[in-house]
A = this chain, B = another copy of it.
Amino acid sequence: MSTMSDVAERAGVSLSTVSYVLSGKRAISEPTRQRVLAAIDELDFHPNELGRALASQRSNTIALLFPALTRGIGELHLEFVTSAAESAAKHGYSFLLSISPDEDEEAVRLARRGFTDGLILMEIKLQDARAELLRHRRFPFAMIGHREDNDGISFVDVDFVHAAREALRYLASLGHRRVAFLGASDQLMAVGYGPAVRSLAGFTQAIAEFGVEGTWHPCDASPRAAYAVVEELLRKSPEVTALVTAHHEASGGMMQAARELGRRIPADLSVVAMTSPRQAETFTPLLTTMDFPAAEMGRLGAELVIRQLETEGGEAEPIHRLLRAELTVRQSSGPAPGRR
């Protein structure tokens, strides 16, 4: 591995000249430039980024704190991660994926390590502690999700209140009067996980607004859990004609239960799932979904941090982006059974 001194020596110039040729931060005469470039080429020199990072106090790396809360739960996570990583790469940043049981501590650790310029947080709670810690240290970060108080913080999120309402509006318009919602587990609700709390809020608003009778069913994001919940709810309340689920990962178990109870989808039971477009296509039967722009969220998450890093003074004004999930009818549910 050759270093800048090697190049300097070979080109017969000083170390700093080589550095400036590389960075372009000061004018270099064309002949010198060429000699330096030739030397770089001959030695197959590539700058050591550790040295650069230490000297410039910038690592050109951003990190994503991967969720412990709902970890590994589904393909949505993959979409966030890869699109954030891709976006980072596109902007010339390396992408660190950080996994730790204790997220609060890990956030702080990353912030002071020196290896990371900025952070992306996901699985945000209403009173997320990590955000406080980082803000206090004035460490650049952005959130995929949002808190109750987002002063001075950039974020991108899906509007869950809206998504839940639109799902209910759609079902109400088909004539359904009795709807069940497979929502977040009690545990997620208890820690104030944003999507959990907000979809419940949207659901509550919606049943009043659209005059349907709706029940909320906490449920883990697993096929087994969904199977159990749906099985019990259809047995106890056979008058339910429509299901909304926040757990796309659970749709398998859901449909299994419905079928075993003799309900056909969509003939006897309408289902709306909240998920990403990619994931939606893998279901059988094709479901009506509220599609999350997962890839865009990952991309924006990265861009929001990078934007701060590249704003002089480090005080870019925060951007709040609340995206809307789009209702996609893949296979017509037809009117509610009771209305046929």
Contact = CB atoms under 8 A, between A and B. Distances in A.
30 contacts: A48-B112, A48-B113, A49-B114, A49-B115, A50-B50, A50-B113, A50-B115, A53-B115, A61-B115, A72-B82, A72-B278, A74-B75, A77-B78, A85-B99, A86-B99, A89-B99, A94-B115, A95-B97, A96-B96, A96-B97, A222-B281, A223-B281, A250-B282, A252-B283, A252-B286, A253-B282, A255-B284, A256-B284, A256-B286, A259-B284
Interface in A1-49: 1, 46, 48-49
Contacts of A99: 82, 85-86, 89, 95
State how many copies of this chain the complex holds: 2
Contacts of A82: 66, 71-72, 99
Interface in A254-304: 255-256, 259, 278, 281-286
A338 interface: no
Contacts of A46: 109, 112-113
Which of A61, A113, A250 is packed against the most chain B CB atoms within 10 Å? A113
B285 A251 contact: no
A79 interface: yes
A59 interface: yes
B54 A282 contact: no
Interface of A: 1, 46, 48-51, 53-54, 59, 61, 66, 71-72, 74-75, 77-79, 81-82, 85-86, 89, 94-100, 109, 112-115, 222-224, 249-253, 255-256, 259, 278, 281-286
A18 to B, nearest CB: 17
A61 B95 CA distance: 12
A54 B66 CA distance: 27
A123 B253 CA distance: 31
A302 B222 CA distance: 27
Given A54-B54, A115-B94, A284 B252 contact: yes
Given A82-B71, A282-B249, A59 B66 contact: no
Contacts of A259: 284
A85 to B, nearest CB: 5
Contact of A59 (B50, B72, B75, B285): B50
B66 A72 contact: no
